Amino acid sequence: MKLYQKMMLAIAAILFTSTLVSAQSTVYVILSEVTNTECQISINGEPCFEMCGSIKKIYDSIPPYTVSDTVVKHPCVTKCTINEEGKVLFAADLDFTNVGNGDVYKYAAETQLNLVDGATYYIKILPKISNDFVIEVITQKEAEKIFKKKGVKFLPEYTL
């Protein structure tokens, strides 16, 4: 009888852990076209990956008005597979270099998603007019338009 109880307990433990692992959502993180900006993505406060699009255009420095070149980068996309459900915080830390004086300005944006097993989400990091950045949740249709644009760089996938 004890052997039967141990086997049933082992089977229950295996089934329980397999249901915990099976929760899975997909989040596409999109960094819009940016200029002189580096971007680090964190999930739930843990640094996870950097986003850097391919170079679209470089404008040469014009001394004495600028101290460095202006580098414009294409949008880029990272597909994230998240193996959990519930609230997940996505944050972007962005460093913008001012070509006029070389100073680096730090910006941050974040959004919280309530992940549901099997769902797909699309979030876009974009500059605001007031020298800041924001993360917006966008539709699949909006994301697909971005994916089709010339020069969009698809970065390696990330799994959490």
Q: Kindly write down the DSSP assignment for every residue of 30-80, as one continuous string.
A: EE--EESEEEEEEETTEEEEEE-PPEEEEEPP-TTT-SS-EEEE--EEEEE
pLDDT exceeds 50 at position 149: yes
Helix H or strand E encompassing 106: strand 104-115
Indicate whether 33 belongs to any domain: yes
> pLDDT grade, residue 142 (50/70/90)?
very high
Q: Which residue has the tokens 């414009």?
A: 72
Report the amino acid identity of residue 149.
Answer: K
Q: How many residues are recorded in the chain?
A: 160
Indicate whether 94 belongs to any domain: yes
Q: Which residue has the tokens 């406060």?
A: 45
Give the Cα-Cα-Cα angle 158, 44, 104 (nearest 5 degrees). 85
Domain that holds residue 121: 24-159
3-class secondary-structure state, position 144? helix
Indicate whether 139 belongs to any domain: yes
Indicate whether 75 belongs to any domain: yes
Q: Do the beta carbons of residue 91 and residue 110 sit within 8 Å?
A: yes
Indicate whether 7 belongs to any domain: no
> pLDDT grade, residue 14 (50/70/90)?
low
Predicted TM-score (pTM) of this structure:
0.81
Would you state the pLDDT for residue 38? Answer: 92
Domain count, the chain: 1
Indicate whether 18 belongs to any domain: no
Give per-residue pLDDT as tens, 76-120.
Answer: 999 999 998 999 999 999 999 999 999 999 999 999 999 999 999
**In this structure, is the dihedral angle defined by the CA atoms of residues 135, 140, 145 and 149, taken in order, positive or negative?**
positive
Indicate whether 144 belongs to any domain: yes
Indicate whether 101 belongs to any domain: yes
Is the bond preceding residue 64 a cis peptide, omega within 30 degrees?
yes
pLDDT exceeds 70 at position 49: yes
